[in-house]
Structure 1
Amino acid sequence: MALELRQNLKLAQKLVMTPQLRQAIRLLQLGRLELTEALHAELEQNPMLEEVPSLLEQPVNPEALNAEENPYQAETAFTDRVKGDDPATVAEINWNDYVNSFDSDLSFSRETPPADAPSQFDFISTTPDLTAYLQWQLTHLDLTEQDILLTTFIVCNLNEHGFLEATIEDIRAYGQCTAEEAEGALRLVQSLEPAGVGAMDIRESLLLQLDRLDYYDTLPYQIVDQHMPLLETQNYAKLAREVGTTQKKILEAIAVIQELTPYPGNEFSNRQINYVIPDVYVYKIDGEFVIQLNDEGLPQLQLSEEYLKLLKQRSTGLSAESKSYLRENKRNAEWFIKSIDQRQKTIYKVMESLLKFQRDFFESGPAAMKPLILRDVAEDIGMHESTISRVTTNKYVHCPQGIYELKYFFSTAVSTPDGDTVAAEAIKTRIRQLINSENPAKPLSDNKISELLSKENITVARRTVAKYRDQLKILPVKYRRQR
């Protein structure tokens, strides 16, 4: 059989991901922060898009305001550049008059500062991190070049908790020094603030802090130095026997240790905390739940009227290339606005479906959670499961029970002996309740929790209880026991 090239004509149907469809899918799965950035980026790139002005920015007709209706007429003008006293002319204020410009040759003649003079923004302070704080302290000490070299190496090898990640051998190899010189430089760093910095682990950090507080060779120091495992497991009865004292004195020493900081470097962390902003609110008004989308902070988009006028006019002087460019951006802007609107409507529909399926949760809390999967919501609102997955990712709802991610409302089912099902999240809530109400001296084991749940007609194996407990970030029984 000879090999040859042929041309065949074939009709086929297939789904093609157009750039517009890709954009709509991407917008659907963006969180609120990413969505805000995407809106501002599109505003910068597409000239046909503009932000809808707020009510305060909309023009006001001065003639429609009289002295009684305009309380601003009695105010004095801020600068000479303000023409009139009505609010419409406030935008003409020269805000340069109010800028605290830096001028080393300040005079009363309103001299213009040099172009290369530093701005007031150059003096905005930031919170120093741990490395900068320690180096600042070292600059005030009379150190030799060798000490500066070794201490800088030590400071630069501290992690975010303030613990040293290098060994004495590493310090010796870097500074080409003796072990005594390396240990001396380390003790110098450990003498700085905050107390406990430069330690190898939590135990050494606590010992350094106790030594700084003059607790050396006392009961708290002895407990941390020699009985750290018993302290971690809170086995105070055995700790009292090992030390040879009463449990009352042990508790007093524990109170001193609890005042210390296990991770001294954490207070200098510059990590930004991103607070959760709900995408949707659920209110209970007169016994009925009301859903409201959160549009606050999101720029409202519209097509530019100026460019639309240019496209409508026949004799504008624009070239064919310019008109084609504007038409293309107009189509992209219309699709972008439509995609944003579709995203908001989809979130509303999904939240409406979740409210229908999990109404008991919104009424009573997590203990009333019901089993729910993506397919249930997808069939309810007539969408694909992948769409529901994208909508519920990184989206949050504020309801009477608190703030929850939309993914939270989907929970697997656990069968009961009588044929019913219980949501896994409801079981987790019940486990947390049992542990919170346990006797600290005799905490509940995973096996005991499994037995208590079986009495409530919830059959859960011990391994499953341990898995749920780990997901709840609850310590095992030996670490919860207080004797």
Structure 2
Amino acid sequence: MALELRQNLKLAQKLVMTPQLRQAIKLLQLGRLELTEALQAEIEQNPMLEEAPSLLEQPANPESLNGEENAYQAEATVTDRIKGDDPATVAEVNWEDYANNFDTDIAFSHETPPADAPSQFDFISAVPGLASYLQWQLTHLDLSEQDADLATFIVCNLDGHGFLDASIEDICAYGHCTEEEAEGVLRLVQSLDPPGIAARDIRESLLLQLDRLDADDPLPSQIVEQHMDLLESRNYAQLARELGVPLKKITEAVAVIQELTPYPGNEFSNEQTNYIAPDVYVYKIDGEFVIQLNDEGLPQLQLSSEYQQLLKQKNALNSESRGYLRESKRNAEWFIKSIEQRQRTIYRVMESLLKFQRDFFEDGPAAMKPLILRDVAEDIGMHESTVSRVTSNKYVHCPQGIYELKYFFSTAVPNADGDSVAAEAIKTRIRQLITNENPAKPLSDNKISELLAKENITVARRTVAKYREQLKILPVKHRRKTN
């Protein structure tokens, strides 16, 4: 078969993603804090973008004052407010006292460092965690080189809860040592603070903590070591029969065990806390709900007047600089338009959610109605993917609390009357039933299903169990409490 070149004419449809469109989509799915960072980054990169001055920075009457008079008036106003009635009585502030300068006993350190000198705080790289705390304790022990290496290996193989992920065989393979030597170093690490560290499971962690208590009563250790399953199911009556002791002593021993920490490494977690800033507020004023976008902290963008004046001057710039500024101006205008479009879209989506889920904003999660992305998309005339991007990582602050916009979408569960109930409303009702149950006789999943059926909500027992697990509520045997 011979190879040859041919020209063919073909008609096809395809979507071309321009850089501006990609930027608009990216801005649409950014969260509140991420958007602030994106705005600052764009201001730094695009010379045509600048932050508009606030109302406090603008002169009261700009038409009657020139630039020098404006500066003088602003300075006089601030100075008078700070100094008070008698400026002579106010000492001059030495701003060097508040500078971030190095201060040591060496003579030349008192010299003022350059402006770009590193700060002391620049050397703080991470928050100390469990591993660093254990390593600090190991440095105070007189260990051989091999034992120190094995102890470091054990510390580096602890998970976030403080449990040991490696086995004795792994320790032996790493250090080329015997099992007795590996067990000895493991016991050494387990003797460190916090108690229960480097255990292989919860049972061993509790036993290590009970050993530290040095209590006279061996019953708590006996319960943890021999009857952990009965302890987990709170079957205290069976525990009393198995151990041949009164029920009162069992409850006293269980009270001691409950004071222990199942996961000793959790308190040393150095995970950063992610704070939520609402993107939109919903207020109820005079019986009506009002939507307000959260623009606090977001810089107000505008085109640079200086660079626009340069573009108007024909001979002020060469062709390359003029082309660069024109491209920057187009990008800045598109960026501002994308931000405004993002804010309008969020407002319209929130307005639609308020219309569909008004009962939620009035009465809470129990009044949630079934809702899908298509309902909101058809209501505001947008595509489902756009609604999905808007509701991802966006939060609303309303009288009921702070919720992610995704929360308001819930699948429909048919009830006995032929109508449908939102799955989130059923979860809320399950939580209410379990919260109000008798701790001595907690409700089983089957009983909860029967109670919901009396309210015309048909939910199978396995569905109740699934919703209960999603709510992170323990099974009935773990919720039972005895006096």
Same fold (TM over 0.5): yes
State the shift of 1:68 in Å: 11
Tell me what 1:465 maps to.
Answer: 464
Tell me what 1:63 maps to.
Answer: 73
2: CA distance, partners of 1:110 / 1:154: 45
Deviates more, 1:429-438 or 1:318-327: 429-438
The CA RMSD measured in Å over matched residues stands at 2.9
Tell me what 1:102 maps to.
Answer: 103
Tell me what 2:196 maps to.
Answer: 196
Q: Cα distance 1:409–1:140, how it changes in 2: closer, same or farther (>3 A)? A: same
The residue matched to 2:417 in structure 1 has which SS? coil
Tell me what 1:206 maps to.
Answer: 206
Contact 1:347-1:391 at 8 Å conserved across structures: yes
1: CA distance, partners of 2:251 / 2:72: 74
Deviation digits for residues 230-251 of structure 1, max 9, x if unmatched?
A: 1111112212222222222222
Deviation digits for residues 46-79 of structure 1, max 9, x if unmatched?
A: 1111222345656763336768993224354645
Tell me what 2:62 maps to.
Answer: none
Contact 1:102-1:119 at 8 Å conserved across structures: no
Deviation digits for residues 390-428 of structure 1, max 9, x if unmatched?
A: 111111111111111111111122222322221111111
2: CA distance, partners of 1:291 / 1:78: 48
Deviates more, 1:248-257 or 1:335-344: 248-257
Tell me what 2:64 maps to.
Answer: none
2: CA distance, partners of 1:139 / 1:202: 27
1: CA distance, partners of 2:436 / 2:198: 40
State the shift of 1:203 in Å: 0.9
Q: Cα distance 1:352–1:65, how it changes in 2: closer, same or farther (>3 A)? A: same
Contact 1:158-1:165 at 8 Å conserved across structures: yes
Tell me what 1:294 maps to.
Answer: 294
Deviation digits for residues 330-361 of structure 1, max 9, x if unmatched?
A: 11111011101110111111111111111110
Tell me what 1:42 maps to.
Answer: 42
* Counterpart check, 1:275 vs 2:275: yes
Identity %: 77
Contact 1:102-1:117 at 8 Å conserved across structures: no
Contact 1:103-1:114 at 8 Å conserved across structures: no
2: CA distance, partners of 1:115 / 1:16: 48
1: CA distance, partners of 2:255 / 2:405: 41
Deviation digits for residues 260-308 of structure 1, max 9, x if unmatched?
A: 1111111111110102211111111221111111112222222112211
Contact 2:101-2:112 at 8 Å conserved across structures: no
Q: Cα distance 1:399–1:120, how it changes in 2: closer, same or farther (>3 A)? A: same
Q: Cα distance 1:117–1:293, how it changes in 2: closer, same or farther (>3 A)? A: closer
Tell me what 1:221 maps to.
Answer: 221
Tell me what 2:477 maps to.
Answer: 478
Tell me what 2:334 maps to.
Answer: 335
State the shift of 1:470 in Å: 1.7
Q: Cα distance 1:118–1:39, how it changes in 2: closer, same or farther (>3 A)? A: closer
Q: Which amino acid aligns with 1:99?
A: N
Q: Cα distance 1:117–1:309, how it changes in 2: closer, same or farther (>3 A)? A: closer
Q: Cα distance 1:56–1:231, how it changes in 2: closer, same or farther (>3 A)? A: farther
2: CA distance, partners of 1:291 / 1:472: 30
Tell me what 1:89 maps to.
Answer: none
Q: Cα distance 1:48–1:95, how it changes in 2: closer, same or farther (>3 A)? A: farther
Deviates more, 1:221-230 or 1:39-48: 39-48
1: CA distance, partners of 2:116 / 2:357: 63
Q: Cα distance 1:124–1:20, how it changes in 2: closer, same or farther (>3 A)? A: closer
State the shift of 1:208 in Å: 0.7
Q: Cα distance 1:152–1:124, how it changes in 2: closer, same or farther (>3 A)? A: closer
Q: Cα distance 1:96–1:54, how it changes in 2: closer, same or farther (>3 A)? A: farther
Structure 2: runs of 5 or more not aligned: 60-69
State the shift of 1:41 in Å: 2.2
Tell me what 1:392 maps to.
Answer: 391
The residue matched to 1:208 in structure 2 has which SS? helix
Tell me what 1:72 maps to.
Answer: 82
Structure 1: runs of 5 or more not aligned: 81-93
2: CA distance, partners of 1:22 / 1:125: 34
Number of residues of Structure 1 aligned to a counterpart in Structure 2 = 468
State the shift of 1:213 in Å: 1.1
Give runs of aligned pairs for residues 142-181 of structure 1, distance below 5 A.
Answer: 142-181=142-181
Tell me what 1:353 maps to.
Answer: 352
Contact 1:102-1:118 at 8 Å conserved across structures: no
Give runs of aligned pairs for residues 395-474 of structure 1, distance below 5 A.
Answer: 395-474=394-473
Contact 1:103-1:117 at 8 Å conserved across structures: no
Q: Which amino acid aligns with 1:286?
A: D
* Counterpart check, 1:231 vs 2:231: yes
1: CA distance, partners of 2:14 / 2:96: 59
State the shift of 1:24 in Å: 0.9
The residue matched to 2:141 in structure 1 has which SS? coil
Q: Which amino acid aligns with 1:101?
A: F
State the shift of 1:197 in Å: 0.8
State the shift of 1:179 in Å: 2.5
